[in-house]
Amino acid sequence: MVRIILLKLIESFFQMLWLATIAIIAMTALGFYWAQNKAPTYTSTGTLYIEKDSLLASLTAASSEMPWWVTKTPAERTIAEIEELLATQSFARSALVRTDFASLLEAEPKEVDATIDSFRQMLSMSTLGEKTVRITGTSEDPETAQQVVDAVLDSYVEWKLIADYQESVVAQNFFAELIGPYQDDLRQARNDLMLFLQDYPEPNNSERPIYERMEIARLEAEVERAEWRVDETKKNEESARLALAQSEALTRQTYTIIDVPQVPLEHSRSMTAVVIDIAIFAVVGVAMGVAIILLNAIFDHTFRFALDVRKTLNLPVLAVVVTAKRPWRDRLPWRRKRPVVRPVNVTQTSEPHPALGVLPQTKSNVK
């Protein structure tokens, strides 16, 4: 069976080689035409530097040192975070508002989704080191390429500012709300201690009974516990207030835009890109040629080999007639040989037998 398949493939290859060659040549020509008429694209880049261990972070104990098992660099973590944000509608919309696509956000939902998808496709990110991220925008319009990169950089830094600010505000409000109830508990504990001392004054000539001393110790412990909670809450509230004050400065110091994206003056079309485009079409042509050969081998049920007859019909093959073709030069009309008729003189040596068709030699029948 394997031999039959191989023979069919080989036969189909030589039979459809011309059609496969036409497909490859046609697709390559189409790729060349498409590459030559493709609109040029413009590229704008911006660079973001991430410095987690800054002086302000060390002074305020806000360093974001990662555990030893985390192997990603700050640049890789930043790229992953930006990609996650771009996948959301809110962040993409906030970035699009900063570009000329802002007017398209008021269209129908399908058009808005298409605009956001095209905006995401314009962007690409890569690392230039452990702490440097390059954001690239590609578009047929040079101003659009610059705007998308600038919008992503500004939106990301602003998002970090808002996220840190909101976190600090929530923490400060949380501890500020706890200070009041804790102070009430402290006043209540002190009042309980004072009332107990007033009700049970210390005797002049003897010591307090054991149960009074135990109760006083318990009330004093309650006062100390309430004072400790108030002090810790005030410290945490002060830390939250400090974090709120430092969040903006720390974020701007952590994320620094080194290279501001500029409007490109020349398109980014290169010879390598043209060759790649043509190669893609050529590969498609090769795939089409292979598909033509395979389809012909599958759907061609002609018996071309003796093995086909024996395996398919289970019949013996008595003989195989080989078809021999003349060279193409001999098949041309003007190269064909015509038979030449020459006169022949016949001399009769036998006796005439009219019954057998042998007539006597005369001048009329000898030519």
Residue type, 186: L
Phi, psi of 64 (to 5 degrees): -100, 55
Same domain for 168 and 107: yes
Q: Is residue 203 part of a domain?
A: yes
Same domain for 145 and 127: yes
pTM: 0.53
Residue 79: count of CB within 10 angstroms of its CB: 19
The answer on pLDDT for 218 being more than 50 is yes
Query: In the structure encoding, which two tokens stand for residue 301, read together?
Result: 């049920």
Terminal-to-terminal C-alpha distance of the chain: 66
pLDDT in tens, 3-27: 767 777 787 788 888 888 999 999 9
The answer on pLDDT for 30 being more than 60 is yes
Task: Give residues with Cβ within 8 angstroms of 185, minimum separation 6.
Answer: 226, 229
pLDDT in tens, 175-186: 888 888 888 988
Same domain for 216 and 185: yes
Same domain for 188 and 98: yes
Lowest-pLDDT choice from 3-17, 26-40, 99-113, 198-212: 3-17
In Å, how far from its chain's centre is CA 293? Answer: 33
Q: Is residue 293 part of a domain?
A: yes
pLDDT in tens, 199-208: 888 877 778 8
Which segments within 54-143 are labelled E, that is strand?
123-127, 132-139
How many residues comprise the chain? 367
Q: What's the maximum distance between 2 C-alpha atoms anywhere in the chain?
A: 189
> 133 forms bridges with which residues in the sheet?
48, 127
Domain residues for the domain of 64 are: 42-259
pLDDT in tens, 156-170: 988 888 877 777 777
Same domain for 135 and 282: no
In Å, how far from its chain's centre is CA 74? Answer: 21
pLDDT in tens, 312-342: 667 677 666 666 666 666 666 665 555 555 5
- How far apart, in whole angstroms, are the C-alpha atoms of residue 207 and residue 194? 19
314: left (phi over 0), alpha (psi -120 to 50) or beta: left
Q: Is residue 352 part of a domain?
A: no
Same domain for 275 and 204: no
